[in-house]
Amino acid sequence: MTCLDLFCGCGGLSKGFELAGFKIVGGVDFNAPAVQTFQKNFPKAKGVCCDLLKMEPEQIASEFGMKGVDVIIGGPPCQGFSTANRYAEEKRDPRNKLFFQFVKFVDLYAPKAIVIENVRGILTMNKGYAAKRIREIFRERGYSVANSILNAADFGVPQKRLRNFFVMLRDGEA
């Protein structure tokens, strides 16, 4: 199965998917050195350096083709959902809008599955507004939505790192 990583950074999430048997076809991030590292880590994939807020469906199709991808993954910036956030409400933090850039890719490719990784605060900040919106948006598009908080230490990472994972499966794909 093919996998496209949004907010890919150097490819940590992609690496996990690759180890699980997925073919990484591409990654998108606005940080040029991170994309260069991603490209070195995944030489057969296409690393694209751009701002997802400005990437239109036509550019997505141009960069990655219209063939489609099976799974879209990503870890959008999480500072807006962190307990250290300086904004009073997550709705006012402009970084949180990056979450919804997944929708452009989902609408274009209709992947079988979507995985979004973020801090656990996304479930509770501002009464869980972002988590509720994520569930609504993807359910409207025909996906079942589940989430779980996982500790990286339980998976061989030498640190306690609690992260929330949203897993969306297109109806009929379970």
> In this predicted model, what pLDDT tens digit does every residue of 119-163 receive, in sequence order?
888 788 778 877 888 899 999 999 999 999 999 899 888 899 899
Beta-ladder partners of 19: none
pTM: 0.87
List pLDDT tens digits, range 20-40.
999 999 999 999 999 999 999
Q: How many CB atoms lie within 10 A of CB 157?
A: 10
Q: How sure is the predictor about 104, in pLDDT bands with cuts at 50, 70 and 90?
A: confident
The catalytic residue positions are: 78
Residue 90 clears pLDDT 50, i.e. is over it: no
Any residues with CB less than 8 A from the CB of 63 and at least 6 apart, and which? Answer: 26, 46, 48
Output the average pLDDT for the chain.
86
